[in-house]
Structures are given as C-alpha cells and as structure tokens.
Amino acid sequence: MTAVETGVKSVLITEEEIRSAVKKCGEEISQKYSGKKVLLVGILKGSFVFISDLAREITIPCEIDFMAASSYGSSTVSSGSVNITRDIASDLSGYSVIIAEDILDSGNTLSKIKKILLERNPDSLEIIVLLDKPERRTADIEPDKALFKIPDKFVVGYGLDFNEQYRNLKYVGEL
C-alpha cells in the first residue's frame, strides 16, 4: 500500500530504514546480553510489529512477554492518564529486562511501566524505542536507545495506529 492509497500525508521512515535499524539493534542486544537471562517486554498494541521483528534479530535465548497500557483512546493526543490493562507476572529477579516500545512521546506510559517493573527487582532494565519524539516529553524519562528520532508529528504505521487503523503499514508515515 502506498502512502497515497492509505491517506498518509508522507512517509517519514521507509521499510528498508526500519529493517536495517532493527537488525543492528538485535545484533547489539545479542552482544550486550550474551550469557544473561533476557526478557523482552512489549507494550501492546503498538509494539507488536517492532518486538516481533526485533526478537527475530536477537541471536541469544530470550523470553518475551507483554504489557498493555492506554492513554490515547481514539484521540491523537495522550489523555495523560495511563491505564495498565495487561500486566506481566511477578518477580523479575535474575532477568535483564528490555522494554521494547513503539514510540516515546509524552513519556507518561513508559514512566509508569518502568516504575512498576523496577519494583520487581530485575538485574537490569533498558528501554528501547523505535521512535523518540522528545519535543512532546512531559515525564522525566529518556530511552536507553532510540532507533529513530522524529519531529512532533502524529505518525502511524509499523504497529502505530490512529483509531486502530494503519498498524499494518510497513513504514512510518505522518497522518
């Protein structure tokens, strides 16, 4: 599907650029966490494409789990109120936890999730985001790694949606 066919204003990050960055990130994780017990935590729904591609690029054993949180609903602006709708289980002692998130925008969701997971005593916790939108940050949080930094535009594709549409696009585009 082309941007014109979907109503997307412009393509910001191509499928090829995403594929290359995810591959490199998987290689870095494999080297950094070799010999460690790794848990990838995806934040649903937006991260499902990113975490599945990332997991396939990681060459060391890792476990995968998911949390779900919402603050957008059918709006293009976060409500500021984060609701955890799916949590992962229990104690994370002994795990190197890597949160794989689609976008870091206001930071409210990731701040809450980071706090929850740190209370479960992981050996380490790292936040990797596909997209970082620092202009919108209201919470005191930064990613450990961002594959792409983007301007303050509402984006869709590669898992990101507007009102549950556009997640299946292979690129990231401005709506």
Do 138 and 110 form a contact (C-beta atoms < 8 A)? no
Which residues lie across from 162 on neighbouring strands?
165
* Per-residue pLDDT, 137: 95
* Per-residue pLDDT, 37: 97
Q: How far from 48 is each of 100, 138, 141, CA to CA, in Å?
A: 9, 25, 22
SS (H, E, C) 17-53: HHHHHHHHHHHHHHHHCCCCCEEEEEEECCCHHHHHH
> pLDDT tens, 61-93?
999 999 998 765 555 555 567 888 999 977 899
Of residues 65, 87, 102, 105, which has the active-site annotation? Answer: 105
H helices present in the chain, as ranges: 3-6, 15-32, 48-57, 108-118
Do 125 and 145 form a contact (C-beta atoms < 8 A)? no
Q: Which residues of 134-158 are buried (b: 16+ CB within 10 A; e: fewer)?
A: eebbebebebeebbbebeeeebbbb
| CATH of span 15-152 | 3.40.50.2020
Task: Look up 140 and say whether it is catalytic.
Answer: no
- Distance of alpha carbon 11 from alpha carbon 3, whole angstroms: 7
Do 125 and 152 form a contact (C-beta atoms < 8 A)? no
> pLDDT tens, 3-50?
545 679 999 999 999 999 999 999 999 999 999 999 999 999 999 999
Long-range pairs of 134-138 with CB within 8 A, sequence gap ≥ 24: 134/104, 136/105, 136/106, 137/104, 137/105, 137/106, 137/107, 138/80, 138/106, 138/107, 138/108
* Per-residue pLDDT, 105: 93
Residue 111 has pLDDT above 60, yes or no: yes
* Per-residue pLDDT, 77: 55
Domain limits, the chain: 15-152
Do 107 and 91 form a contact (C-beta atoms < 8 A)? no
* 3-state class (DSSP) for residue 118: helix
